[in-house]
Amino acid sequence: MSGITDPNAVKKLEKKILKEAKAEEKNVQRTLKDLKSTEKSDAKASKAINKAEKTLGKTQKKEESTLVAANKAAHKHDIAATDLNKANKDLKLKQNQSAKIHQELLSKQANADEAVRQKEAHEHDRESKLTNHHAGAATTGANGQG
């Protein structure tokens, strides 16, 4: 110290130096505390990143499996739609065949009814002819005798 001999001046200087040291110590402690807090925040941020990455991985796997399931469902739907179209075509074919057979049945019933009607008419004609023939023969036979 450059020649301060006054004890009050020396005390003031010592007090000033102690105050500066104390302020500097507080500043260093505050800086270290802030550093520690920032380190904790950095660690938390790193953990949050790791957790977010894991969540992303799980979500990607879930999306992929859902896509696979959706593709399988779409394929099953395509097959079901194809089967439905096939069943509709088969139904229409069977309905057309049934309608054709039914028309054939009606035609054959009409033909059979006509054949039965003609047979009955012919039998009636034959019976009439036989009756007339017998009546004529009986008349001729009666005339020949009498």
Q: Is residue 142 a part of any domain in this protein?
A: no
pLDDT score at 143: 64
pLDDT score at 141: 64
pTM: 0.49
Domain limits at 91?
8-102
pLDDT score at 64: 97
pLDDT score at 146: 46
3-state helix, strand, coil in the chain (%, to 5): 95, 0, 5
Structurally, the chain folds into a number of domains equal to: 1
What are the CA-CA distances from residue 119 to residues 9, 105, 113, 125 (Å)?
A: 159, 21, 10, 10
Q: Is residue 41 a part of any domain in this protein?
A: yes
Q: Is residue 139 a part of any domain in this protein?
A: no
Residues of the chain with pLDDT under 70: 1-4, 141-146
pLDDT score at 134: 83
Q: Is residue 119 a part of any domain in this protein?
A: no
What are the CA-CA distances from residue 35 to residues 27, 45, 49, 84 (Å)?
A: 12, 15, 21, 71
